[in-house]
Structure formats: C-alpha cells, structure tokens
Amino acid sequence: MENIWSVHDSLSQYSSHSTHIIYYSASKDYFKLLYPELKRLDKKELHKQIDIKSIEYVQQDRDYLKDLIQYKQHISSQAPKT
C-alpha cells in the first residue's frame, strides 16, 4: 500500500506559516462537517483526530463528490459577502 499523508503531513510541505494556518482551518472545518463527533473535542485531541480521520477518509469507500458539494454548501452559508 502506498504511503498516505495526514493533513499535518501534507501541510508541512508549505513553507508559509499563514498558508499552513488557513489550509488547516479549512481542513478542520471539512472534517468536522463530515465527522460531527470531532466538534466536541478539545483543541489538543482534535489536532490528533484530524490526522487520524484524514487518513481514514481516503481509505474509505466514500462519495467524495457528495462530500465536496456538502462542504461547498456549508461554507457558502458562512462565507463573507464581498
């Protein structure tokens, strides 16, 4: 099996700290939408679980398009109006 990177492994490839923060925030929001049980975790445990869930996510037989559409709908209701 090929090596699967967690969210934090992937983000470590970016040299910009602000990029890391923005992408992690979006990833955290995405996984909290897909796995509501993550919402009640403290910051430290959430950090660990995001990595675990991100690896599990790519190993599952999911409808990824449906997940992305659900996330798009979720963020469009939260996005600032410009």
Mean pLDDT in order along the chain per 10 residues (82 residues):
86 94 95 96 96 95 96 85 62
CA distance 11 to 5: 10
Please report the DSSP string for 7-49 in residue order. Answer: HHHHHTT---HHHHHHHHHHHHHHHHHH-GGGGGS-HHHHHHH
57: helix, coil or strand? helix
pLDDT at 79: 61
